[in-house]
Structure 1
Amino acid sequence: MLIKTLLILLGLIGLAVPIAAALGWLGLILQWTDSPMPLHRAISDMAWQTSTDFLLVAIPMFVMLGEILLRAGITERMYDGIVKWLGWLPGGLMHSNIGSSALFAATSGSSVATAATIGTVAIPQIAKRGYNEPLFLGTIAAGGTLGILIPPSINLILYGLLTNTSVPELYLAGFIPGFLLAALFIVTVVIACTLRPGWGGERLHYSWGERLRALPALIPPLGIFMVVVGSIYAGIATPTEAASLGVVAAMALAAFNGKMSIDMMRLAIEGTMRTTAMIMLIIIAAVFLNFVLSIIGLTQALTDFVTGLGWSPMGTMLMIVLVLVVIGCFMETLSMLLTMAPLVTPIVVALGFDPVWFGILLMVLLETALITPPIGINLYVVQGLRKTGVMMDVMKGALPFVLTMFVMLALLLIFPGLALWLPSLFY
């Protein structure tokens, strides 16, 4: 049954069926072939219950937060500020791409938004500064993935909702792995540009005075990060309320910078509505599919099969990681999260692993899926920003960072405390 399910899903994706429709059709097909009950009659009720869930209101709020920061010009000033602090390293602006992505991820919660925003600012610098184009593009694609892992993350909210795991605990667990992965990306660029000095482009030099004068440009995103995440851990706001506070703070910054206008807000709201509609349609389709999988017994059958193999917990976990890496090459990350988390998390918990730890491991796997062909969304986002050249350049540039993510996965498997230490201090 599992093989049939995967073949149908991959077939629909291969036919270029939109992912929300593919998940919905898969649920309907499995209902017709494996269930005696008309499960499709529950779609309207599930759609209403899902779309009115208070926790999911955070999604349009975080999307709007990123839209306002982009359209108010705050991101461009942030990028210029980080250039002053990281541009001296071998690789120059490539480190700024990663650092800016990490900082923007800590406010927007979206990987695609992060890649699109930083790419818009950074790509014009490739020819101007003489960088190796594939590697430069790879830093944008890989840096964008940090939006999944560094809090506040939309994907961590969805994982918490699907698996009944505490979102504040997941946010705490994501801090160290998220910024450690950003540091590993920077190390990857340093190694590449040390071995091939010509890839690093023009060396940038700034005085300490210039660096200190650039600090005010870094305060707004850090301030929003403190408003959003700080309000959660101070007990002032829930994740949804914290996202709303972030939007208010972003609007205040836009007004302070003289960028607040009806046209700017109209564009931000339109972008928010388009992105939110896409996400919610995928969520509703995935919830229906998960309902069907549960009713026909596939979820329990898969759990029984894996636990019945008699493998060690770590051996089974390595198998799960390998399977998810392969699936990530063919599935869009949001649909992969919504489809796989309810299937795999019960198995992981039955093996004795912490669901919070697995949530972070799964986010790194989703990050890997964002930059692995042929479905890696960030690859297409970065290529779309170029408007010239071939996709192969972006794929080649992202490959070293895929290997870096495998290193991060190994570190999480060997040292689970990387994810669990901060939550253990508060819970």
Structure 2
Amino acid sequence: MPSSNLVIANESDDGFWRDDSGKSLHVSASDLERHAYCPLSWSLAREGKTGRGQAIDKGRIKHAEIHRKVENFKQKQNDLRRALVIWSWWFTIVVMFITDAIIFTTISDDRTPIDISRYLSILSVIWLVAGLLAIYLPWRKWINLPIEKSQELQDLKNLDDVAIPRTLQPYGFIGGWKQGGRVEAGFLMGATIFGLHAIGLVWADNKEQAGFILVTVAMIWTLLASWQLQRALLADNALEVARINAGLDEKTDVAYSDDEATAGLLLDNLSGLRGRPDQIVIVDGEFIPVEQKTGKIPDKPHKSHKMQLLAYLHLVESTTGRKPPYGVLKYGSENLHTIDWDEDNKHLLFSATKEIQRLMVQGGAERNHNRKGKCQSCSRRYACNSSLV
């Protein structure tokens, strides 16, 4: 390795190499993959020798296609959630109308439907004004209302702006300034219900007629709710198609997908590791990193790919504070391999990380194999003086 690529750092007591400011030398998950494949390939990459070959170009195109499918799955998932929330609101209105109709026809009272309509109109206006004020004024901040947060999801969200968006009132929501949450939605929904009741009772001459009007309105809302339910079912069908296209399991949620353009990095300052997995999915409440590999499907995972996934496992744990039980290497659409995140693999990861940091300081990277086929497949053999082919 040329001396111009060497860095100044010292080995710390924990074995990691740190510069004069105490920061660990950065080692990416891609560094670990290249080094495990061949230290010379890693060294050439540090010198600026980019990989060449049709396989690399095809791999980039394939990764972009995978990301598009996963993003489509996430969008369909959000569409379904939104449709179900709207349907549940509309169905609630139907239940309330039917309940009111029963009350009007069974309870005697001296008040006429017009009197009740006036009261409901006043309530509707009050709730509407309260809802609008709640939307335009940051009242949560004024009363120091605790902000609902999820640090684990927020840390992962730094990778991707669309990580598990909530349909209503996302994490960190403070409201005000034309933003509304669950409270504001409740006010506006109440204003709508009171207003519809008031309008329906205007034309009622007696309680029986008022009950009939409420039942009629309930039937109309039932038709609207049925239409919304149909939309939800169509969204569910579209979600299933998107899930199959993305190659995801039925009970899998996607927390993050890497597009190599807007995604950020997971960082671990202690070890210097950094990287961004292809996807982070949620399985049984656990964050599971997934690394997609294109090209020829091997009988068992390559060591270089395993090292890359181990880096992502550590980064997910250090970021969220929760230890993932395993990670997934995915070759093609159905060939899956799980890599356990245990003490042996953690030791393997840290040993490789420290060795790469040592080479960054001292140099001396050498070819670690005598396989011509490996050199033949290397995308940097054009710049390698130790190639076997």
* More helix as a share of residues: 1
Give the TM-score of the pair, scaled to structure 2. Answer: 0.28
Structure number, greater radius of gyration: 2
Give the TM-score of the pair, scaled to structure 1. Answer: 0.26
